[in-house]
Amino acid sequence: MYAITIREPGDPDVLEWAEVADPRPGPGEVLLEVAASAVNRADLLQRQGHYPPPPGASETLGLECSGTIVELGEGVEGWHVGDEVCALLSGGGYAEKAVVPAGQLLPVPGEVDLLTAAALPEVACTVWANVVMHAKLTEGEVLLVHGGAGGIGTHAIQVGKALGATVAVTAGSPDRLESCRQLGADITINYKEQDFVEVLRGETGGANVILDNMGASYLGRNVDALQQDGRLVIIGMQGGVKGELNVGALLGKRASVFAAGLRFRPVEQKAAIVADVRERLWPLVHEGVVKPIVGQVVPMAEAASAHRTLEEGSVFGKVLLAAK
């Protein structure tokens, strides 16, 4: 088969479409013929040599994909050859074929086509695990989403609204903020021109839950933006890895800070997240209440171009890589 390989750590030009050995499913795994994968910021870090895959995972980029099951490993039940699915991966999505633990498969939902389904697994599991399963966002609360125009952000807006929350977002341009409003965002904040802490305090008194992709650079301001009993969930480090935390402010608000990735969780934890997503979120996707947002589709062999697009920050929603 063909897959994207990394010649050496570096800029997007190090990505090459090359022939590699076909993967084979082990016990509890399935083999997919990949229809599409999607580009995530973790892929950019791995390409640069900063984010190696977990032990035992595929060295090939790609944390999610969609495709058709072509082979079942020993002991797999509930799935059949020919099923169209999308999948959460630890790696391996940028390829014509991928091996996936059966517990990380999801059926292609509703009217979503097979290619577009590749936009769902990583964002769905990330948002649901952090905003719903951990932070327990509920109806009537305020959710602040940093990076509202990205793949995670566009999904989180829709999930927040579906749960009955007031959703605030940050983004860096008027057109991206307008697109967020069209998805349902109630409060839109241009982080280049406005202080999100002041805006939130003025509009709602603060956020109950904050989904943060920035990390260190926003740490103190995020705590300031929380209401009493607020929950800050950090899922990214675009703003650095070391910041100063005012514990007194946390104590005064009875607030919590939680940081969690998805890729390095044990297989059992990922399966539990996927099962909860299938039970509680997938009906909303099936009904069209929550939709995959795709900003661009690029041939998989041209993954370097897709990486440049994501680095430029100009796309709204997900960038997909079509295998054919």
Tens of each residue's pLDDT in the chain, 324 residues: 999 999 999 999 999 999 999 999 999 999 999 999 999 999 999 999 999 999 999 999 999 999 999 999 999 999 999 999 999 999 999 999 999 999 999 999 989 999 999 999 999 999 999 999 999 999 999 999 999 999 999 999 999 999 999 999 999 999 999 999 999 999 999 999 999 999 999 999 999 999 999 998 999 999 999 999 999 999 998 888 898 889 999 999 999 999 999 999 999 999 999 999 999 999 999 999 999 999 999 999 999 999 999 999 989 999 999 998
- With a CB cutoff of 8 Å and minimum separation 6, the contacts of 263 are 42, 53, 54, 63, 90
Q: How far is CA 134 from the centre of its chain?
A: 16
**Which tokens belong to 109?**
């939902």
Lookup: tokens for 36: 């599409």
How far from 115 is each of 84, 262, 299, 319, 322, CA to CA, in Å?
Answer: 10, 23, 12, 12, 7
- 248 burial level (CB within 10 Å; 0-12, 13-18, 19+): exposed
CB 213 within 8 A of CB 151: no
Identify the pLDDT of residue 14: 98
What is the pLDDT at residue 237?
Answer: 87
CB contact at 8 A, 101 and 31: no
Element of type H or E holding 305:
helix 303-312
To the nearest 10 degrees (0 to 180), the angle between helices 151-162 and 174-183 is 40
